[in-house]
Amino acid sequence: ILVTEAVDAPHLHRFLNTWLSNPPRGDAVLSAPQQRMLAQDVLWQLGRTVQRLHDNNFAHRDLKATNLLVRWSTGEPPELVLVDLDGLSRKRLMTLRRRFQGLMRLNVSLLKCPVVNHAGRLRMLLGYLRRPGCGRINFKPYWRVLEQWSADKINRQIHSRRKRQKAVRRPGA
């Protein structure tokens, strides 16, 4: 039996679209610097959350923005909560490929969120890559691979969607 806490919080997309839209649609209006700080905090924390998940040898086959909830109240740091835990599995070894698959799924889902820009997705990656006391990180090779894998994933999704649409149009074939 798995007992979990009921979390009354919006998923990541809704949270970001509510608080980072211009003008904000949240309960209280945030200034542009407050919006920027909130976005930085959430996206950095997103990278750190995925890093801790992977460092503890857990993979999530459905890692995307709609499976992350953000609990936040003004004046407090945002808290990310991972949901849809049936996609979570413990691995004996977290290979670099498996790590990038999780990051790629998350990156692709963030591409669908209009308020998260290139810099925001990069902040998520830096949050993932940075370790305490490690100094500067040469993130560019990781970024290039992540961008390429994300583009390939999107192309596969488009191809799959077109195939399904053709099959629906020709039911008797």
Note the helical H segments in the chain.
Answer: 12-19, 32-55, 96-111, 118-129, 140-169
* pLDDT tens by residue, 48-99: 999 999 999 999 988 999 999 999 987 889 999 998 888 889 999 999 999 9
**pLDDT number for residue 172:** 60
- The pLDDT confidence band at residue 3, using thresholds 50, 70 and 90, is low
∠76-81-82 over CA atoms, to 5°? 160
**pLDDT number for residue 26:** 61
CA 98 to chain centroid, in Å, comes to 15
Contacts of 87 (CB under 8 A, 6+ apart): 60, 61, 62, 63, 67
**pLDDT number for residue 171:** 66
CA–CA distance, 29 with 19 (Å, rounded to integer): 8
Q: Which residues pair with 80 in a beta bridge?
A: 70
- The pLDDT confidence band at residue 101, using thresholds 50, 70 and 90, is very high
The region that residue 97 occupies, defined by phi over 0 for left and psi between -120 and 50 for alpha, beta otherwise, is alpha
* pLDDT tens by residue, 103-137: 999 999 999 888 899 999 999 999 999 987 777 88
**pLDDT number for residue 7:** 80
**pLDDT number for residue 165:** 86
∠85-55-86 over CA atoms, to 5°? 10
Contacts of 140 (CB under 8 A, 6+ apart): none
Query: Length of the chain, please?
Result: 173
* pLDDT tens by residue, 137-153: 889 999 999 999 999 99
